[in-house]
Chains A and B, each alone.
Chain A
Amino acid sequence: MKNGAQRFGLRARVSAAFAVGAALLSAALAVVTFVLVDHYLLARQLQSAAHETFADARVVHRDLLQGGPVLGEVLSSLTAPEGTSAYLYQDGVWYSGALAFGYGPHISRPQGVPRALVKLVEAGQPARQRVMVQDRPAVTVGVPLNSVHADFFEVYSLEQLSRTLELLGWVLLGCAAATSAGGLVLGRWASGRLVRPLKDVADVAAAIAGGQLERRLPSGGGRELALLSASFNEMVGALEERIKRDARFASDVSHELRSPLTTIQAGIEVLQSTEAGLPADGRRALGLLAAEVARFSAMVQDLLEMSRYDAGAASLDLEELALDELVSSTVAAYTAGAVPVLVAPGARGLWVQADRRRLQRVLVNLLDNASAHAGGAVAVRVDRIGGPGATGEAEVVVEDAGPGVAPSERAAIFERFYRGAAAGRRGANTGTGLGLSLVAEHVKAHGGTVEVADRPGGGARFVVRLPISPPAPSRDARNRPAPPQRTPATPAAAGSTLSTTPDQAVKGAPALTSPHPLQDSALTGNRPPP
């Protein structure tokens, strides 16, 4: 079960904590502010209400003593602010200065003057009480006018105040919300800064795992981070050193084997020319020796090539190659025309940026693999997949009609020295065990992929995909390779190419003047005779 730490990232959690913290803090601040302001404003309002009531009460008291005008007129003459009503209670009768109430006298107690307050004032005690008048807040102040046996009340609306407080409340809420959002942003920023070094570590670790052993973390960024990057870099350095040492060891061993191998091979060659004088057993032993030394030699070459990849020292000798021509010529030259090359119409004149030698090794190793495990390749196809321009991929397919490769073995056969279920079935094993691994390495170095699938109708098909390079300029007729001038080409070489382009044969028809391929194609020593 996943816990919260995994469900939400560190960044999300830090951001959330910041936001919640900011929200709590700002809410508390807002509440305190609101309460203080509310108290202060209300107190002031009540105080001024009391002051005014007393002032008005003095006016009313004086008028009553002088027996002046009618009570209602006295009350309405009071210069009361908006929303204020004045009432006089005398002998159980109410008088008012408010039009809405009518000037009186009235029996009924006016709204806004609670009974409790009246009782308190009647007892000779000035008092005030907060009330609701028509659902609006107000404060009523009562003053006893003892000498005239009357009580004076004024009802002050607190609506202005409550509106102000309401506005303040909204403003404070808005501020709290903004602060929370600010906290979230701050949290994201801070956690981003905090997490960035972790992301750097992850990126660099991924790059190192991907083979870029020279990548390191930048130093600096605070004491704690410097410590982290220093120990990380130290670890990677030790790892790199070790990987390089392993690769160098493989390379050194292979190098050291080459001089004695030269001597052994030359010795065997000289012995073979005196073979006729040897007894039958000796001849047989010599034959076995020669075969195994040839295989050993090829293995040393392959190991060297592999160790170059392992040490990251393999550099491609890139040139622009017409893939269809290269495949046709290589297959024709290597199999003496026994394997047809089918070039799809879309794949004619397909150019790739490639290392000629390595691409040839890819083909040769695939053909060798087909010979060793499936009785030889039956066809090689060149095709183009994907869109036009330089966006597509070139596809080279080597097909055989053998037993095929079981799905469970399809990834494993590209591993070094892999011996599959079919191993040993075909008599003596003549391969180096590195052929397909080198195919994979060569293709990967070219930015391509290789995989094995079933061939329709039985057998295996090895599919190599390579990126296409943009078209090279100047490919007019004059710039085609010259036709062979003399007659060195083996008749099979050009003839076997089942390309439908008539000009295909003109393009660099291969020739086999020497029966021995360059030793760089290391497997040639084991190749079955064509």
Chain B
Amino acid sequence: MTSVLLIEDDAHIRASLGMLLRRDGYRVSEAASGEEGLDTFASESPDIVLVDLLLPGMDGFEVTRELRRSSNVPVIVVSARTGTDDIVLGLEAGADDYLTKPVMPHELPARIRALVRRAQLSAERGTTLCLGDLEIQPQAGLVKKAGTPVSLTRTELRLLCELASQPGWVLSRPQLLERVWGYDYFGDTRLVDVHIGRLRSKVEEDPSNPEVIVTVRGIGYKLVPPP
């Protein structure tokens, strides 16, 4: 049974989202603050964390950064503000995906399902790929750069695998959104851009001057096969 940790200070939202998730068959633990959430995470090690960005005391950004320090657990941030920098900041802090309030009841399970599937998919498919000094072992969830293991979240790993599966081909942002996050055509392409940035910081020699994952202006990204 997939377990979800819900960090949300509004008791009504916590209760109603918890109810919704339990109905869909998830095991749900609830925390009313960031500190409590981190404690619960340490004791219960849930499969997925859902964290509100606006929390009293330790806010959602800090919680996400703290979680990322020790774990690759999938994190979904919930923002009360659309269209602001909140979402990008949350993603940059290490979140895999985001939701905005009001959370559509069908949206929450869909996002969680996509994250779980992402974990399963990377475990199922693929043989070891070698691109230059980059070695990708999707089945083991392992990436090595010049022999040294690189720690990637599942989302980053999936993104890298998608780009590596068609080296030299440009993948558009909507394509990547659909393949990695399971969004339909109307997804938010900032998800792709932020994650590409994080991936670059881990696999590129010089992330500000990328040579492996290259931006194709106006279209998307491609992985440059080594010479």
**Cα A511 to Cα B182 with chains together (Å):** 10
Residues of A within 8 A of B207 (CB): none
Q: Which residue of chain B is the closest to A478 with respect to CB atoms?
A: B168
**Cα A472 to Cα B220 with chains together (Å):** 13
Q: Is A63 an interface residue (CB 8 A)?
A: no
* Residue in contact with B83 in the complex, picked from A267, A305, A517, CB distance below 8 Å: A305
Of residues 217 through 262 on chain A, the ones whose CB sits less than 8 Å from some CB of chain B are 255, 257-262
How far does the Cβ of B220 sit from chain A's closest Cβ, in whole Å? 6
Q: Is B69 an interface residue (CB 8 A)?
A: no
Interface residues on A, range: 35 or more
**Cα A473 to Cα B16 with chains together (Å):** 50
Is A269's CB under 8 angstroms from B106's CB? yes
Is A519's CB under 8 angstroms from B104's CB? yes
Is B20's CB under 8 angstroms from A266's CB? yes
Q: Which residue of chain B is the closest to A483 with respect to CB atoms?
A: B169
Is B105's CB under 8 angstroms from A520's CB? no
Residues of A within 8 A of B166 (CB): 482, 485
Is A518's CB under 8 angstroms from B188's CB? yes
* Residue in contact with B13 in the complex, picked from A262, A516, A521, CB distance below 8 Å: A262
Is A330's CB under 8 angstroms from B16's CB? no
**Cα A479 to Cα B219 with chains together (Å):** 8
Is A479's CB under 8 angstroms from B170's CB? yes
Is B12's CB under 8 angstroms from A513's CB? no
With A300-B102, A301-B82, A474-B216 given, is the CB distance from A266 to B186 under 8 Å? no
Residues of B within 8 A of A308 (CB): 83
Residues of A within 8 A of B182 (CB): 513-514
Q: Which residue of chain B is the closest to A469 with respect to CB atoms?
A: B218
Residues of B within 8 A of A356 (CB): 173, 189
Is A333's CB under 8 angstroms from B220's CB? no
Residues of B within 8 A of A259 (CB): 10, 12-13, 80, 101-102
With A266-B105, A322-B218 given, is the CB distance from A481 to B13 under 8 Å? no
Is B189's CB under 8 angstroms from A319's CB? yes
Interface residues on B, range: 35 or more
Q: Which residue of chain B is the closest to A270 with respect to CB atoms?
A: B19
Is B83's CB under 8 angstroms from A266's CB? no
Of residues 134 through 180 on chain B, the ones whose CB sits less than 8 Å from some CB of chain A are 165-166, 168-175, 178-179
**Cα A510 to Cα B184 with chains together (Å):** 8
Q: Which residue of chain A is the closest to B106 with respect to CB atoms?
A: A516
**Cα A507 to Cα B23 with chains together (Å):** 40
Is A269's CB under 8 angstroms from B20's CB? yes
Is B175's CB under 8 angstroms from A472's CB? no
Q: Is B26 an interface residue (CB 8 A)?
A: no
Is A263's CB under 8 angstroms from B185's CB? no
With A258-B101, A322-B218 given, is the CB distance from A482 to B175 under 8 Å? yes
What sequence of 0s and 1s flags, for each residue 495-515 of chain A, a beta carbon within 8 Å of any chain B beta carbon? 000000000000110111111
Residues of A within 8 A of B10 (CB): 259, 263
Is A320's CB under 8 angstroms from B186's CB? no
How far does the Cβ of A507 sit from chain B's closest Cβ, in whole Å? 8
Residues of A within 8 A of B83 (CB): 304-305, 308, 314
Is A511's CB under 8 angstroms from B13's CB? no
With A270-B20, A273-B23 given, is the CB distance from A481 to B102 under 8 Å? no
Q: Which residue of chain A is the closest to B163 with respect to CB atoms?
A: A482
Q: Is A317 an interface residue (CB 8 A)?
A: yes
**Cα A259 to Cα B102 with chains together (Å):** 6
How far does the Cβ of A515 sit from chain B's closest Cβ, in whole Å? 8
How far does the Cβ of A24 sit from chain B's closest Cβ, in whole Å? 68
What sequence of 0s and 1s flags, for each residue 117-149 of chain B, a beta carbon within 8 Å of any chain A beta carbon? 000000000000000000000000000000000
* Residue in contact with A321 in the complex, picked from B23, B99, B107, B218, CB distance below 8 Å: B218
How far does the Cβ of A363 sit from chain B's closest Cβ, in whole Å? 10
Q: Which residue of chain B is the closest to A301 with respect to CB atoms?
A: B82
Q: Which residue of chain B is the closest to A265 with respect to CB atoms?
A: B105
Q: Is A525 an interface residue (CB 8 A)?
A: yes
Q: Is B58 an interface residue (CB 8 A)?
A: no
Is A351's CB under 8 angstroms from B218's CB? yes
Is A481's CB under 8 angstroms from B218's CB? no
- Which of B23, B104, B173 has the largest count of A CB atoms less than 10 A from its CB? B104
Q: Which residue of chain B is the closest to A290 with respect to CB atoms?
A: B105
Of residues 179 through 195 on chain B, the ones whose CB sits less than 8 Å from some CB of chain A are 179, 182-190
**Cα A514 to Cα B182 with chains together (Å):** 6
With A297-B102, A519-B104 given, is the CB distance from A266 to B17 under 8 Å? yes
Is B174's CB under 8 angstroms from A510's CB? yes
Is B218's CB under 8 angstroms from A513's CB? no
- Which of A259, A515, A517 has the largest count of B CB atoms less than 10 A from its CB? A259
Of residues 58 through 108 on chain B, the ones whose CB sits less than 8 Å from some CB of chain A are 80-83, 99-107
**Cα A517 to Cα B110 with chains together (Å):** 10
* Residue in contact with A512 in the complex, picked from B17, B104, B185, CB distance below 8 Å: B185
Is A512's CB under 8 angstroms from B23's CB? no
Residues of B within 8 A of A265 (CB): 102-105
Is B100's CB under 8 angstroms from A482's CB? no
Apart from A481-B171, A510-B174, A513-B183, 7 more pairs, CB < 8 Å: A305-B83, A472-B217, A474-B216, A479-B219, A511-B185, A514-B182, A514-B183
State the 4 A-B residue pairs at the shortest beta-carbon distance, nearest first.
A269-B105, A320-B218, A482-B169, A266-B16
